Amino acid sequence: MTGFMDEDIVKEILILMIPILCLLAMVGCRAAPGAECMIVAHRGASQDAPENTLAAFRLGFEQGADRIEGDFRMTSDGHIIAMHDRTLSRTTGDPRETADVPLGGIRSLGAGDWGPWKGGEFRNEGVPTLAEVLAIVPEDRGILVEVKDSDRIVPVLIRELERSGLDRDRVAVIAFDREVVATMKRASPKWKAMWLTSFSRRNGTWSPTVDEVIEIAKSIGADGVDVEADPAVVDRTFVERVRSAGLELHVWTVNDPQLALVLREIGVDSITTDRPAVIRKAIVR
């Protein structure tokens, strides 16, 4: 018996190992930071349909978005509806504040028959409730719920999320208001919540700094941050710092395909856009 393996046996072993090695390589690629970058439809596909309507949210999914993002406030009688502004005027023509109108009064308003959409194909689109929006999220997709209200919304929000039956990994609550994020995590830690922030430049310095972003997110128990996609701030080092702190990093609002490609390459978790189909095409190879 010799100390060397037969050459034919060696060849057979190598042939058998090829599929295993390929599989391991594929798994390694998928696990790499930034290998999967989700597309988030900002207020739905808001370039092509009235923002924060069911038509816009459905179109966002049709255009290839992994997630939709919508803005939510409470009515005077405690219902949560999809509405960005404090008043109803910009999207419905009604001058009243959202918080002063009951759901029944908002139901009579046409979000798809105002402004640039007036008289078009969306004339029957109204203002949906959060429950109605959650109900149209497909099984393989998700939603970012941006809270435009105060932390008073949290108990009702948790109740609606529980009723929806959506898996918690398909939902994230996001807010500029730090108290909303902190209250959400205290009340129901299982639901993901992230802090939103933009950036400003004063005396040559960008604020908040990456250190401040991390510190604030940690102090309120956030699972991650969703930041303004300013390339002067959000670079590879910024991404690495946030990730090393154990936080997710998402960016908004990106409609430039070239910028989207750069952001994908430096490893952000998701890109929010008004143009899901365009950005999807840009970042998928």
DSSP SS3 for 15: helix
Residue 28's pLDDT is 32
Residues 6+ apart with CB under 8 A from 170: 137, 141, 142, 143
275: helix, coil or strand?
A: coil
Residue 119, pLDDT score: 83
Instruction: Find all residues with CB under 8 Å of 205, minimum gap 6, and list them.
Output: none
- Angle, CA of 155, 250 and 89, to the nearest 5°: 60
Within the chain, strands assigned E span 38-42, 67-74, 80-82, 142-147, 171-175, 192-197, 200-202, 205-207, 224-228, 248-252, 270-273
Please give the chain's pLDDT, 285 residues, in tens: 344 445 555 445 444 444 443 333 333 323 333 348 999 999 999 999 999 999 999 999 999 999 999 999 999 999 999 999 999 999 999 999 999 999 999 999 988 888 889 888 998 899 999 999 999 999 999 999 999 999 999 999 999 999 999 999 999 999 999 999 999 999 999 999 999 999 999 999 999 999 999 999 999 999 999 999 999 999 999 999 999 999 999 999 999 999 999 999 999 999 999 999 999 999 986
Domains of the chain listed by start with CATH number: 36-283 (3.20.20.190)
**Which amino acid, one-letter code, is at 255?**
N
Q: What residues contact 140, with CB distance under 8 A and at least 6 apart?
A: none
Rounded to two decimals, what is the model's pTM?
0.88
For the chain, the C-alpha Rg in angstroms (whole number) is: 23
